[in-house]
Chain A
Amino acid sequence: DAGITQSPRHKVTETGTPVTLRCHQTENHRYMYWYRQDPGHGLRLIHYSYGVKDTDKGEVSDGYSVSRSKTEDFLLTLESATSSQTSVYFCAISESAGRNTIYFGEGSWLTVV
């Protein structure tokens, strides 16, 4: 199994509060990703990183920011959580983009009430 740890695994928060999800990898992979999974929408890319301090937006990046200060850590922040951000969030890693397999963490269940 790829060494990916997400924290917290479960969180309930109130609308308008900031939330940060953390992803930690032990594989020294260059690429890290944040996806969200919602019923009927599969997995949608929020942001990804191709190196320390190098990030880019995915298809559903509005309302989210990310940071990567170390190779092993990729943080996803919801600046002001909304109910539409209730979802399961998956962190993923790959050695490079495209040809390399993306490996996923176990997911973080976020509920915004």
Chain B
Amino acid sequence: AQKVTQAQTEISVVEKEDVTLDCVYETRDTTYYLFWYKQPPSGELVFLIRRNSFDEQNEISGRYSWNFQKSTSSFNFTITASQVVDSAVYFCALSEFTNAGKSTFGDGTTLTVKP
């Protein structure tokens, strides 16, 4: 069965600090897809990134970067020079190719960035 674990329930940092959100997943599929979503205080769910299991290349988008390591089944998310607007709940999610339609989400990490 697929599973996503976000062990960090809450993280608090001061503005301009770097912060890494951890995501560990379990799957028996060789083909799968990983996602990160952001949920700001306003409540909507915003898609951030998608990565497939065959692409372990790290990705950087502005202050955001993602580190995908199949060897440790992890897909970690780093925010560099955090800002107050980064305060949100962040969800990691997994979709298996053979279990299409039943994506699994982690319980989320609440990030608070203090000024």
Assess the A43–B91 pair: CB atoms within 8 A.
yes
| Chain A 37-49 interface 0/1 with B at a Cβ cutoff of 8 Å (1 = within) | 0001111110010
Which of B45, B52, B103 is in CB contact (< 8 Å) with A90?
B45
Assess the B105–A43 pair: CB atoms within 8 A.
yes
CB-CB nearest in chain A for B35: A101
Assess the A42–B43 pair: CB atoms within 8 A.
no
> Which chain A residues border B47 with CB–CB below 8 Å?
101-103
Q: Does B112 contact A (CB under 8 A)?
A: no
CB-CB nearest in chain B for A57: B102
Q: How many residues belonging to A are interface residues under a CB distance threshold of 8 Å?
A: 26
Question: What is the CA–CA distance of A43 and B35 in the complex, to the nearest angstrom?
Answer: 13
**Given A88-B43, A101-B35, A48:B105 Cβ within 8 A:** no
Which of A35, A42, A43, A56 is in CB contact (< 8 Å) with B101?
A56
Question: What is the CA–CA distance of A45 and B31 in the complex, to the nearest angstrom?
Answer: 21
**Given A97-B95, A102-B35, A103-B47, A42:B108 Cβ within 8 A:** yes
Question: What is the CA–CA distance of A59 and B95 in the complex, to the nearest angstrom?
Answer: 14
CB-CB nearest in chain B for A88: B43
Q: Does A106 contact B (CB under 8 A)?
A: yes
Q: How many residues belonging to B are interface residues under a CB distance threshold of 8 Å?
A: 26
Assess the A50–B101 pair: CB atoms within 8 A.
yes
| Chain B 45-80 interface 0/1 with A at a Cβ cutoff of 8 Å (1 = within) | 101001010000000000000000000000000000
Which of B52, B96, B102 is in CB contact (< 8 Å) with A58?
B102
Q: How near does chain B come to A75, taking the closest CB pair, in angstroms?
A: 18
Q: How near does chain A come to B46, taking the closest CB pair, in angstroms?
A: 8
> Which chain B residues border A59 with CB–CB below 8 Å?
102
> Which chain A residues border B31 with CB–CB below 8 Å?
98
> Which chain A residues border B106 with CB–CB below 8 Å?
42
Which among A35, A42, A44, A56 has the greatest number of chain B C-beta atoms within 10 A?
A: A42
In the A-B complex, the 6 residue pairs with the smallest Cβ-Cβ separation, listed nearest first, are A97-B100, A104-B45, A42-B107, A43-B105, A97-B101, A98-B100
Given contacts A45-B103, A98-B31, A98-B101, 13 further A-B contacts (CB under 8 A): A33-B101, A40-B107, A42-B6, A42-B106, A43-B93, A48-B101, A97-B103, A98-B33, A99-B33, A101-B35, A101-B47, A102-B103, A104-B45
